[in-house]
Amino acid sequence: MVPAQYYLVLSAALFCIGVFGVLTRRNALFFLMSVELMLNAANLNLVAFSLQHGNLTGQVFSLFTMALAAAEVAVGIGIILVLYRNFEGVDVTKATTMRW
């Protein structure tokens, strides 16, 4: 069986790629993708420890995290649409105020 460390290192790599994306990207769509990467890193951890402890709670929890991620993407895409409409682009650094 694969040791838990391998899953954790993979998850850390995925999370750091997400952090890098959030820190550097200016396009809101890529921003959203990076947040998804970080969420999936957390999911990987949950499933890995579910296997480690022989308990299904982590797997069910990761399912719910995926549902929450879907909800987050739905709202995020809506916000990106509004961003595009009001700022003529999806550059997150242009939108510096909550009102316009």
- C-alpha 71/C-alpha 27 separation (Å) is 20
CB-count burial class (<10 Å; 0-12, 13-18, 19+) for 10: middle
Minimum distance, C-beta of residue 93 to another protein, in the bound complex (Å): 11
Name the minimum Å distance from CB 50 to another protein: 9
Among residues 29 and 82, whose Cβ is nearest to another protein? 82
For residue 3, the minimal CB distance to another protein (Å) is 7
Which residues of the shown chain bind another protein in the complex (CB under 8 A)?
1-5, 8-9, 12-13, 15-17, 19-20, 23-24, 51-57, 59-61, 63-64, 67-68, 70-72, 74-75, 77-79, 81-82, 85
For residue 9, the minimal CB distance to another protein (Å) is 5
- Gap between the terminal Cα atoms of the chain: 56
List the one residue out of 52, 68, 64, 67 whose CA is nearest residue 11.
52
User: Of the two residues 88 and 96, which places its CB atom closer to another protein in the complex?
Assistant: 88
